[in-house]
């Protein structure tokens, strides 16, 4: 197994204004880790007269590198954003993250 691609796991964070109220939410880096990435599927479709390409990838990481990954996070890889759709623990050392990217061209 080769972990030779770097990914950024991102989490949604709240930005507060001067009065302590939530002003906005933005994605911020939670952890940058090395991963093994495997292509799963790819398809092209039209939605609302726009071409949409769906690309599914499997990301394998060591859990000690990013122990608290959840499906409320996302992955940034190769200038693209992947929604984390499922997590699967394989033993104690690895986590498999399945992510899907949607690209609008």
Residue 31 has a pLDDT of 93
**What is the Cα–Cα distance from 97 to 82, expressed in whole angstroms?**
10
**Range list of H helices, the chain:** none
Architecture category of domain 5-104 in CATH: Beta Barrel (2.40)
- Percent with pLDDT over 70 in the chain: 74
pLDDT at 68 over 60: yes
Please report, for the chain, the start and end positions of each structural domain, with discontinuous segments joined by +: 5-104
**What is the Cα–Cα distance from 58 to 100, expressed in whole angstroms?**
9
Instruction: Render pLDDT for 5-52 as a digit per residue (tens, 0 to 9).
Output: 999 999 999 888 888 888 778 999 999 999 988 887 655 555 566 655
Q: Would you call 48 exposed, middle or buried from its count of C-beta atoms within 10 A (0-12, 13-18, 19+)?
A: exposed
**Residue bearing the bigger pLDDT, 9 or 105:** 9
Helices (H) and strands (E) in the chain, counts: 0, 6
């Amino acid at each position: 197994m080769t972990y030779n691609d770097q990914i950024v796991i991102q989490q949604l964070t709240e930005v507060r204004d001067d009065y302590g109220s939530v002003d906005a939410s933005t994605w911020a880096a939670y952890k940058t880790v090395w991963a093994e990435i495997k292509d799963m599927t790819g398809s092209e479709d039209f939605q609302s007269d726009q071409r949409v390409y769906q690309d599914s990838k499997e990301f394998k990481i060591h859990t000690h590198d990013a122990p608290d990954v959840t499906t409320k996070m996302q992955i940034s890889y190769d200038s693209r954003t992947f929604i984390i759709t499922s997590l699967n623990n394989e033993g104690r050392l690895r986590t498999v993250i399945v992510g899907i990217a949607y690209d609008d061209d």
